[in-house]
Amino acid sequence: MKKRIGIVCLSITFLILFLVSNSQAQSMKTLLLKAETAMADKDYEGAALYYKSCVIRDSLQVMLLYNYANASRLNYDFDIAWYYFNKVQLRDNGKRYPLTYYWMGQLLKTRSNYREAKKYFIKFGSRKKNKQLEKEGWYEKAKKEIEACDLDLYLLNNAVTVTLNHLDTTINSKVSEYAAVEKDSSQLFFSSLRDKKKKDVNAINYNKIYTSRLKGDKFGRIKELDTNFNSNGWHTANTCFNADNSKMIISKCQAKNAADYTCELYESTYAINHWLRPQKLPEPINLNGVSVTQPCFGKVDSNVVLFFSSNREGGQGGMDIWYSVVLKDGNYGPPINCGKALNSNEDDICPWYEPQTAYLYFSSTYHKGLGGFDIFFSPIRRDTFLAPTNLGFPINSSFNDIYYNKNKSGNRAYLSSNRKGSFFESKHNCCNDIYRYDILPDAPPPKPFDSLAFAKSQLVLLAPLTLFFHNDEPDAKTTATLTEKNYEKTYLDYMVLKPKYLDEFSKGRSADDKDYALNKIENFFSDSVEAGMRDLEKFAQLLEYVLRKGERVSVTMKGYCSPLASTDYNINLAKRRLSSLRNYLTTYKNGLLVNYIHPTANKPSNLFFKDVDIGELSASKVSDDVRDTKNSVYSPYAAGERKIQIIAVGFGE
């Protein structure tokens, strides 16, 4: 009898466990479905909450960690996104989720950590190519981001001399304010999501246009435009005026999902001391199912035009900037795309025309910038838009910087940004605020990009440039201080040995420990050895460019030796390694740089090499037992000590 009771109890226990397990599985399945639905609707806040619940139930499944990180990234929860992307990279090492490295690079850009961000973009690009990602252009994006990180460091070190003022709570609130524009330097028009009359916390907030009278530098009490403009059930925004203020264009939008909108342009005429009810612009400006927004009047080839942003067919991709000629009868001609120099396959938005310079200002996520949307200007020459120039830091930040414009007097500029310091309700960087800066009367317009100054800054920022070697290379077992090999040869020989390093360092380890060891070797070769060679190639290219421009350049090098072996031998080895680096530079492009080293009657020496005293590495835990090659030779820790560096670059006398 007791045995039967025991069997019954055991059966009940198994049944309970089965039901609990099945219930949890059903719950996980439901949560995942809700998370995927929210992502499809671009409800990133909801998706992040559902994925968080999934991760609480199963914190070991890499797919859940990745999806939670990605939803958090899109929901501006950058710290959470970084934490979980980091967990993914540690477990996956870019195998199933290679975009992890790309997004970690982007997150580092939000912190203005461009040096580290560049490493992650390189890491993404150097992994085995994924055909689908390649088809979608991700590797091209990463390549552009690598170049952008170099530019970003230059922009930070060459800041624009403006003082950016964050407008106070008269204008800005805890929700989004944007698209500020002065009318006759006496009245500010702007758009906002605020709604002071709202009583139902679940009700939808709609963008509306507000005004504020300017009293010197101060703003008067804000006033909401009437229902002719701010209609119920519509998001209204993006005010612009023509030259004589007789016409005002606005955009009206309807939500497609939690993040996207379809917008149309409406025109109002000023008559009998008031603005008439706005009328929807006919085709070909507005088109069914196409978003048309962010209007601005300007000039192209002496014609008055209406600029706007649109995702209509015939563009480069995403939102593009277009213009239509204003005809003599007041109608608008067929829209013309502003071209590939300005527009990209990503979003190019918020056009604003400056008549004094014939510059078109706009924001873009594609052109090289500090992060998110950056503001650029493109000179217009007749009907051609020239290559854009980044407006610089601190006008641009590592977040979104949009809706740039100046008042007609040219003494104030406005922009909108969700940068650090912007007001928020519950989440940092969720919402745009309006910023302003004063322009001095004699302030020159922004200049086109200085490529020589940029190249010189890149050379400086590449230092310390670190290069790595296989054990006792080049020219093993000699006390010579010079070698005939150049660094590229030693690098190629080193890369051939990568499988040997993988095999030796992982030998005799358990399955989990073996994966860890293999990842360490893979990362050392990609992040250190290959990265060093890439930097050296770039260094040589930049060096050639600045020398060709007439600069005098000094390159300071340093070798290192480990205190674990004979100091005298290692000092000579470090000198051979420095010799291989000099050989690489002097044989670059069949000895092109040699012309700048040896002076002639007509040409002085412009390139100088300097070796500083060989440095001894601090006490190391790396094995110096020649019999323990696993740790003394093939360990990534040992390999990390076999290096030389370009430690400094100088210019001039």
Angstrom distance (rounded) from CA 522 to CA 370: 30
Angstrom distance (rounded) from CA 196 to CA 203: 12
Confidence band of 18 (pLDDT split at 50, 70, 90): very low
- Does residue 209 carry a pLDDT above 90? yes
Mean pLDDT of the chain: 90
| Residue 363, both tokens | 């924001």
Type and span of the H or E element at 411: none
Model pLDDT, residue 344: 95
* Mean pLDDT within 375-395: 96
Angstrom distance (rounded) from CA 550 to CA 548: 5
Predicted TM-score of the model (pTM): 0.87
Model pLDDT, residue 302: 92
Express each pLDDT in 578-598 by its tens digit: 999 999 999 999 999 998 987
Confidence band of 8 (pLDDT split at 50, 70, 90): very low
- Does residue 4 carry a pLDDT above 90? no
Q: How far apart are the first and last CA of the chain?
A: 102
Which of 624-641 are b and which e, b meaning 16 or more Cβ less than 10 Å from the residue's Cβ?
eeeeeebbbbbbbebbbb
Largest CA distance in the chain: 114
- Does residue 621 carry a pLDDT above 80? no
Give which of 342, 359, 382, 226 is closest to 296, Cα–Cα: 359
- Does residue 603 carry a pLDDT above 60? yes
Express each pLDDT in 137-161 by its tens digit: 999 999 999 999 999 999 999 999 9
- Does residue 313 carry a pLDDT above 50? yes
* Those residues with Cβ within 8 angstroms of residue 357's Cβ, 6 or more apart along the chain or in another chain: 379, 445
Model pLDDT, residue 653: 67
Strand partners, 528: none
Which of 35-44 are b and which e, b meaning 16 or more Cβ less than 10 Å from the residue's Cβ?
beebbeeebb
Residue 605 or residue 591, greater confidence: 591
Half-sphere exposure of 241 (CA within 13 A, CB side): 20
Question: Quick one: what percent of the chain has pLDDT higher than 90?
Answer: 78
Is 165-449 a CATH 3.40.50.300 domain?
no
Question: Quick one: what percent of the chain has pLDDT higher than 70?
Answer: 91
CA 601 from chain center: how many Å? 48
DSSP state of 326: B
Q: In this structure, is the dihedral angle defined by the CA atoms of residues 19, 20, 21 and 24, taken in order, positive or negative?
A: positive
Angstrom distance (rounded) from CA 400 to CA 228: 31
CB-neighbour burial class of residue 471 (10 A; exposed 0-12, middle 13-18, buried 19+): middle
Q: In this structure, is the dihedral angle defined by the CA atoms of residues 502, 505, 506 and 507, taken in order, positive or negative?
A: positive
Express each pLDDT in 424-466 by its tens digit: 887 888 899 999 999 988 888 888 888 999 999 999 999 999 9
- Does residue 299 carry a pLDDT above 90? yes
Model pLDDT, residue 184: 85
* Those residues with Cβ within 8 angstroms of residue 29's Cβ, 6 or more apart along the chain or in another chain: none
Model pLDDT, residue 196: 58
- Does residue 483 carry a pLDDT above 80? yes
Q: How many residues in the chain? A: 653
Q: Packing angle between helix 531-548 and helix 487-496, nearest 10 degrees?
A: 160
| Cβ(632)–Cβ(624) below 8 Å | yes
Angstrom distance (rounded) from CA 466 to CA 572: 18
- Does residue 531 carry a pLDDT above 70? yes
Residue 469 or residue 618, greater confidence: 469
| Residue 333, both tokens | 């001609």
Q: What is the DSSP string of 147-209?
A: HHHHHHHHHHHT--S---EE--TTT--SS-EEEEEEETTTEEEEEE---TT---TTSPP--EE
Domain boundaries, the chain: 98-158, 165-449, 452-651
Strand partners, 237: 251
Task: Residue 265: count other Cβ atoms within 10 Å of its Cβ.
Answer: 23
* Mean pLDDT within 381-393: 95
Model pLDDT, residue 26: 58
Model pLDDT, residue 24: 54
Angstrom distance (rounded) from CA 125 to CA 300: 40
* Mean pLDDT within 213-228: 91
Model pLDDT, residue 600: 64
Confidence band of 369 (pLDDT split at 50, 70, 90): very high
